[in-house]
Amino acid sequence: MLDATPDCIKVLSVDGKLVTMNRAGCLALNVPAESEFGMPWLPLLPEQVHELGLAALHQAAKGHNARFPGQSESDGIRYWDNLLTPIVDNAGQVQSILCVSRDVTEKMRIERELEAAIHREKLLSREMHHRIKNLFTVVSALISISEKEAASLQSPARATKILREKLQALGRASDAAFADRTGEHFDTKQIELGSLVQSVLKPYGDRFQANGCQIYVGSAIMTMLALFLHELATNSVKYGAFSADDGLVSVQWNSGESGLYLSWIEEGGPKIEEAPLRQGFGSEMVDHLVQSAGGTVNRNWRSQGLVTELHLPLSALI
């Protein structure tokens, strides 16, 4: 009957030696069924659960029920709920310990998927709020840029036309970066990085320069790159090069065996005295997306302007 259950059932001595174990336990801990047992129990478990297992064993040896999470790796990683129950004699002395380990791998998987889904929903909700706030900032900046361009052309009346063109360009960039991949707007799974950079930053006119090798990125990473560039541009409008009349942004990239390297270099904006004490939500969100793709983001707060460096492995670009 004990061999028929999928639970791992073990009898331990008070000092933690394995007295006997059913078939499921032998399979989980990779112990031959014909073993005479008697070996220490904890060394059979992965090292990372030894401390929790030892604490539970001490509790059970004192006559208290104890529980701790564990895992095994003999047939892929599996997670276990371990319950230790002391077996006492008529005098109340602990004679041995019954350990029942139940496979909770599927439960753990469902819980983690639920946690990830909840996290994504919270992230999307905060992102929507953040983007709405940034929308007003971007539109205000585009109005200012359009007025300055019209003034430089000595044609103030053209400001509205210039603004309309910039908003339309921003809309096209949004369509290119965020349109439904299964909809009529997309008939390809890849886009050339230079085109994506130009599309996202086109509303800023000649205030930016783009230079890099020809490389195509997959639709899975396209949205992240568009968000990354858009967030940098928005912050530049608020605090950096795009907020100053003579400010310029240079976007440079290259690729090799180790992946894609992209640099965002600002100059001509307000002088930076020191790095900010904390990041805004938008930057935190973009960093999280980059890290989830296996990449890294580094920021160098130079006095003459921010330099942001992005690295993505080749595997993320497909």
Nearest to 295 by CA among 220, 236, 239, 230: 220
Here the tokens at position 197 are 């950079």
Q: Given this model, what pLDDT does residue 263 score?
A: 96
- In tens digits, the chain (318 residues) has pLDDT values of 888 899 999 999 999 999 999 998 888 888 888 888 999 999 989 888 999 999 999 999 999 999 999 887 766 788 899 999 999 999 889 999 999 999 998 998 898 889 888 888 887 777 777 667 766 766 776 677 677 767 766 777 778 877 776 676 566 655 655 554 444 444 446 788 998 898 888 888 888 999 999 998 886 677 778 878 888 988 898 889 999 988 999 999 999 888 999 999 999 999 998 888 887 766 777 788 788 888 999 999 999 999 999 999 988 887
Contact 226, 289 (CB under 8 A): no
Q: Given this model, what pLDDT does residue 226 score?
A: 81
- Using CA atoms, how far apart are residues 42 and 279, in angstroms rounded to an integer? 44
Q: Given this model, what pLDDT does residue 183 score?
A: 42
Whose structure tokens read 């997670």? 79
Q: Given this model, what pLDDT does residue 165 score?
A: 67
- Using CA atoms, how far apart are residues 297 and 262, in angstroms rounded to an integer? 10
Beta bridge partners of 299: 308
What is the gyration radius of the CA atoms in the chain, in angstroms? 30
Q: Given this model, what pLDDT does residue 186 score?
A: 42
Contact 312, 289 (CB under 8 A): no
Q: Given this model, what pLDDT does residue 134 score?
A: 63
Where does the chain have alpha helices with state H?
A: 23-29, 50-61, 105-152, 159-178, 193-201, 219-239, 281-292, 314-317
Here the tokens at position 224 are 């992240």
In this structure, how many other beta carbons lie within 10 angstroms of the beta carbon of residue 282?
A: 20
Q: What share of the chain is helix, strand, coil (3-state, %, to 5)?
A: 45, 25, 25
Q: Given this model, what pLDDT does residue 75 score?
A: 66
Query: Residue 68 class from Cβ within 10 Å (0-12 exposed, 13-18 middle, 19+ buried)?
Result: buried
Eight-state DSSP code of residue 41: S
In this structure, how many other beta carbons lie within 10 angstroms of the beta carbon of residue 305?
A: 24
